[in-house]
Structure formats: C-alpha cells, structure tokens
Amino acid sequence: MAETKTIEIECLRYHPGTDSEPRYQAYQVPFTEDMSVLQGLQYIKDHLDGSLTFRWSCRMAVCGSCGMMLNGIPQLSCHAFLRDYHPGRLRVDPLNHFPIMRDLAIDQTDFLRKLATVKPYIFPGEQKTPAQGEFLQTPGQMDDYYQYSQCINCLLCYAACPQYGLNPEFTGPAALALLHRYNADSRDAGTPERMEVVNAEDGVWGCTLVSYCSEVCPKGVDPARAINQNKINSTKDYFFRFLTPRGGK
C-alpha cells in the first residue's frame, strides 16, 4: 500500500442559479504518489462534495477536456501530479479568459464557432475517385504541418493568451494553428478560402507574440509560430492584391 499524504485543494466554485460571483472552497484530499490532479478532483466529487463540477474524459492527455488553471498555470489536470504541489496548497480555477458556466467548467461556444470559420478540412486541388489513387505526400511535406495537427482543442492556449482575454473577438491560438495546419498541407488548395480569417484585424494581427500559448501546449503545438508566419503571408496577400490583375488569387 502506497503512502498516503494529505493536500489542500482550493477550487473556484460558481453556481449560476445562486451565486452572483465565484468564491473559493477548500478541501483536504488524501493522495498517493501516483495520483493526478484530476484524480484529486474525482476524490472530492466521490467522497467530499458531489456538487463540484468539472469536465474530464480520457485521463491520458488525449481528449483535451480537463484543462484548468493549476496555481495560475493552464494545464491538463490529468497531466499534472498532486505530489508536485505537496506540501503546498493547490488552487484550481477554471480556464482563464472564458466565461464560467459552473465551478470549473467553462463555456467553449466561442472557440467552437471560431474553429468552424477556419475551415479545418482539406480542399483537394483536383477531384479524384478512389480508383485514381491516393494524394501522395513526402515525409518533408508532412513535416511542414504535422506538429500543428496534434492539437486536441483543450483551450490551454486561449487561457494563456492575454490578447484573447482582452479582446474575445481575436480568433486565437488553436483556431489559427489549425488554419495553418491545413494551409501548410501540400494536399490542400483551400488557402484562398481561409485568407479572410487570416487577414482580419482579429485574425493573425490580433497577436502580439506573447508566445505563452506555445509554452503551455501539452501536445507540442507551436501556435505562436503558426500565427506569426501568417503575418508574412497576410502581408504578401495584401500587396499581391494590388500587383496582380486577378487580385492575388
């Protein structure tokens, strides 16, 4: 039997039906060396307070549901261990910059709407039937976008981005990284379809390269790079519109 210690976990609580603003509630949680923060929260829900609300699913940093602020840093709660916060106290907040629905669950509607605007799917340049074969790609061409395709939509990057907090209209890191993931794919011909989102004031130009998004990403995606490369593409697009008869298309 592994040694059990106790840690104080302080959670932000907000009940839309009864609270006018959020408050903190502290719990004493027994834990073992191998317990994640998510397991600590599950202990609270199972044994101390069944009303604590939070999202989770896979427990293995794949689904992107359990993002939270752990002592002020955006992290997947399944990807952080209670032992690393002991003997100190752990404060858990819902992801920054998003409206709180209840306790640690935020409203992701805004992101889901933005995700649809970047058209995150391949527009094939030429139509092919399966009989005509696959769209081929070299390892080098795959390397151009592979890292960006690892996004799990966990929204840690939005919680890390002060520009998104200050201006919720900003398209934001994950959506723009996914936009670039498709633009950078050699099989895709949809770049012109996505330039309007790139060029907008709230597109890539809403970014001031704080680059904390890339720092907190649990999957090694580099949204700051995707966005800032596209400032070059947006500038080119702007000038080519004047220089070419067909308006850069």
Partner 1 sequence: MGKPKTYLRPMTGWWRRNPFYRSYMIREFSSVLVTVYALILLFGLYRLFQGQAAFDAWRAALATPGSILFHLLVLAAFFYHAWTWFEIMPKTMPFIRLGGRRVPDNAIVASGAAAAVALSILLFGLVWWVTR
Task: Determine, following the binding rule CB under 8 A, whether residue 16 of this chain makes contact with partner 1.
Answer: yes
Handedness of CA 164, 168, 171, 175 (dihedral sign): positive
The one segment of 40-48, 79-87, 139-147, 196-204 that binds partner 1 by CB under 8 A: 139-147
200, 228, 234, 241: which one contacts partner 1 (CB under 8 A)? Answer: 228
Cβ neighbours of residue 51 under 8 Å, at least 6 residues apart? Answer: 15
Residues in the chain: 249
Number of helices and strands (H, E) in the chain? Answer: 9, 7
Mapped onto helix, strand or coil, the DSSP state of residue 246 is coil
Cβ neighbours of residue 201 under 8 Å, at least 6 residues apart? Answer: none
Task: Determine, following the binding rule CB under 8 A, whether residue 14 of this chain makes contact with partner 1.
Answer: yes
Task: Determine, following the binding rule CB under 8 A, whether residue 222 of this chain makes contact with partner 1.
Answer: yes
Task: Determine, following the binding rule CB under 8 A, whether residue 142 of this chain makes contact with partner 1.
Answer: no
Beta bridge partners, 81, equal 36
Task: Determine, following the binding rule CB under 8 A, whether residue 120 of this chain makes contact with partner 1.
Answer: no
Task: Determine, following the binding rule CB under 8 A, whether residue 162 of this chain makes contact with partner 1.
Answer: yes
Q: Measured between alpha carbons, how far is 115 from 172 in angstroms, rounded to an integer?
A: 10
With beta carbons less than 8 A apart as the criterion, state whether 125 and 189 touch: yes
Task: Determine, following the binding rule CB under 8 A, whether residue 220 of this chain makes contact with partner 1.
Answer: no
With beta carbons less than 8 A apart as the criterion, state whether 82 and 37 touch: yes
Total of chain residues touching partner 1, rule CB under 8 A: 34
The one segment of 12-20, 79-87, 112-120, 194-202 that binds partner 1 by CB under 8 A: 12-20
The one segment of 34-42, 46-54, 171-179, 218-226 that binds partner 1 by CB under 8 A: 218-226
Binding site for partner 1 (CB under 8 A): 14, 16-17, 19, 21-22, 72-73, 96-97, 99-101, 107, 140, 143-144, 162, 165-166, 208-212, 214-215, 222, 224-225, 228-229, 231-232
